Structure 1
Amino acid sequence: MAPIVTVTMNPAIDLSTSTDRVAATEKMRCAQPRTDPGGGGINVARTVLALGEPVLAVLPVGGPTGTVLKDLLERAAVPCRIISIDGSTRESFSVTDNESGRQFRFVLPGPTLTPAEWSRCLDAAIDAARSAQYVVASGSLPPGVPSNFYQALATRVAGAGRRFILDTSGEALRQLRHGAYLVKPSARELAHYVGHPLPDTDSRITAARELITGGVSELVVVSLGADGALVVGRDWWETVSATPVAVANATGAGDAMVAGLTVGFTRGLDTLDAMELGIAAASASLVTHGTNPGHPDVIANLLDARTTTPAPLSHSGD
């Protein structure tokens, strides 16, 4: 039994490299590339494993690139339930400009799934959920998958008596109407969801509460990048600061936060203590090259450093 099941509808092979300087039209010589298994739910699963908890990753895989992805997952010892598809698994790549330290990410759309293929993914996720506590869906939807796919998954997960956590954006997020335990948009994604700018904490709290009072989700975690995160419940809220670290790679930090948060829930931690684990896991991933999860010792040290001082009290009401 895996207490956590992850769903990655648009997995990828993540290629990362660096060059002295990124410049238009020039031929840029790059360092030896690094190859990692990628996609939101896969990143979540790898951090869950790094934290020492069982997990099962559900994902569609196809084509020659899919064979490579399966090999990468096997090498990373990620337990998987794979749904075979006709299309080829996508590749994504990132390039770090050594001169400026900026990272440029290029994200491809993924293969087109047929109705039969995405339906098999949905059934496989529900089947796996029956022996789980939490189902975490993270990442984009590939072409061919209807934008209400995550809503269908949320409905069936809730119907099975399990908790559903969603980290996505765009129309896939806007189509979520009910059934989630927690959603984790960024501030920008939440603004897109409600259809207007959210320039400050008060406006973000109000927007998050719209999701809660509307029955979309019981909890909302708004990721704020270097400013940490905003956690909102029905009658309380709290800001959780980030841990300053030297960033080696930003890809997958949000997924690591979701992983730590979910692991915290499975261990019986309250929401704010679970968030501390999530922030520690995200910070550890930032100092790791590629999309590798943070090392367990690094996560533990960062968590210990954060929790040696009393956590702030949450704010109730408005």
Structure 2
Amino acid sequence: MAAMMNIATLTLNPTIDVAYEVDHVYHTRKMRTKTEFYSPGGGGINVARVYVRLGGNARSYYLSGGATGHALDGLLDLHQLVRNRIPIKGHTRVATAVLERESGKEYRLVPSGPMVEPAEWRQCLNQLQTAQCDYLVASGSLSPGIPDDFYGQVVAMMTERSIPVVLDSSGAGLRGGLEQGGVFLVKPSIGELRQFTGRDLPDTESVGRAAMQIVGGGHAQYVAVTMGHEGALLASAERQLLLPAVDIEVRSAVGAGDSFLSAMVFAISSGWEIEEAFRFGIAAGAAAVMNPGHDLARPEDIRRLYSQVRAAS
């Protein structure tokens, strides 16, 4: 295995993730929670958490503000993550997941996030200009006020420095990053890919064609599409690889995509071939959904499920 490389992650719209469990969800009535958990969240932060669990080195760049921003900083320190905070005036958002024990259903409340001023997002670009890393993972939504082409600006900056960019976003963030071109790896979910293409993509053949168009257009070298229980698809200039989902009991969908991406990048940065890294990512996504909403993939689960993924493909 090659020497471990360092990654940096970018989270423009981080969260404090709060998870509760209740016996039953009622309207109006006060519901007493059975458990409560507080975690630092948002795409890039989640990627960094799993990457470090696997034994890698990750530095988190993120925007943070208000009283909740200080709380987020503290949570990152509790998780012993190396961090670069870009201060903003707005309050960091708080996202809530409620698990109803009676039905096993999970309810998720996710605010849009704080307004970011031009001086604040420009300061973010300035900090990234000196980021020391082998890969940059830009993951998560754009906060209000951040321009649609922000991830494109990041890709252009990192391309000049010969640092590959991994992109995982949706809507304007995904489009702005891909339109720049030259992304190393992009990981849309099937829903994000449908939104990006404006097409239904009713079967895996149409998903594969859409992914290959992204590759063929020079927008990204690799496209990994996660499709939930239908598995995942990897597209490159050489070929497509479609793999089934791991057959497990789903407890929560929180953090599955971030765990997938983190494990895949960890394997790539460790010198694995892209298709084996893709399998490792599938294992991590499955490992994440086995856990309740306050947790992400665990290394022992990832490695156990990875052997199942290899055996099935």
User: TM-score, normalised to structure 2's length?
Assistant: 0.94
Q: Counterparts of 1:77-156 in structure 2 under 5 Å?
A: 77-128=80-131, 131-156=132-157
Unpaired segments ≥5 residues, structure 2: none
Q: Counterparts of 1:13-28 in structure 2 under 5 Å?
A: 13-28=16-31
Q: 1:26 to 1:73 in 2, by over 3 A?
A: same
Distance 2:52 2:243 in 1: 24
Distance 1:278 1:214 in 2: 25
Q: 1:89: Cα distance to partner?
A: 0.8
Structure 2 counterpart of 1:268: 271
Distance 2:74 2:60 in 1: 14
Distance 2:129 2:283 in 1: 30
- 1:139-174 deviation digits (Å, cap 9, x = unpaired): 111111111111111111111101111111112212
Q: 1:27: Cα distance to partner?
A: 3.5
Greater shift in the superposed pair: 244-253 or 82-91: 244-253
Distance 1:28 1:202 in 2: 46
Structure 2 counterpart of 1:188: 191
Give the SS at the match of 2:253.
coil
Q: Is the 8 A contact 2:282 2:309 kept in 1?
A: no
Q: Counterparts of 1:1-318 in structure 2 under 5 Å?
A: 3-128=6-131, 131-175=132-176, 176-177=178-179, 178-307=181-310, 309=311, 311=313
Greater shift in the superposed pair: 239-248 or 66-75: 239-248
Distance 1:247 1:115 in 2: 41
Distance 1:226 1:124 in 2: 39
Task: State the one-letter code of the partner of 1:35.
Answer: Y
Q: 1:267: Cα distance to partner?
A: 1.0
Structure 2 counterpart of 1:314: none
Q: 1:26: Cα distance to partner?
A: 4.0
Distance 2:185 2:129 in 1: 18
Give the SS at the match of 2:129.
helix
Give the SS at the match of 2:40.
strand
Q: Is the 8 A contact 1:9 1:142 kept in 2?
A: yes
Q: Using the aligned pairs only, state the percent identity.
A: 37
Q: Is the 8 A contact 1:11 1:89 kept in 2?
A: yes
Give the SS at the match of 2:211.
helix
Q: 1:305: Cα distance to partner?
A: 3.3
- 1:185-227 deviation digits (Å, cap 9, x = unpaired): 1111111111111000111111111211111111111110122
- 1:255-312 deviation digits (Å, cap 9, x = unpaired): 00000110111111111100111122222222223343322222222223333x274x
Distance 2:5 2:114 in 1: 28
Q: 1:119: Cα distance to partner?
A: 0.9
Q: 1:145 to 1:2 in 2, by over 3 A?
A: farther
Give the SS at the match of 1:245.
coil
Distance 1:145 1:224 in 2: 28
Give the SS at the match of 1:93.
strand
Greater shift in the superposed pair: 65-74 or 21-30: 21-30
Q: Is the 8 A contact 2:11 2:62 kept in 1?
A: yes
RMSD: 1.6
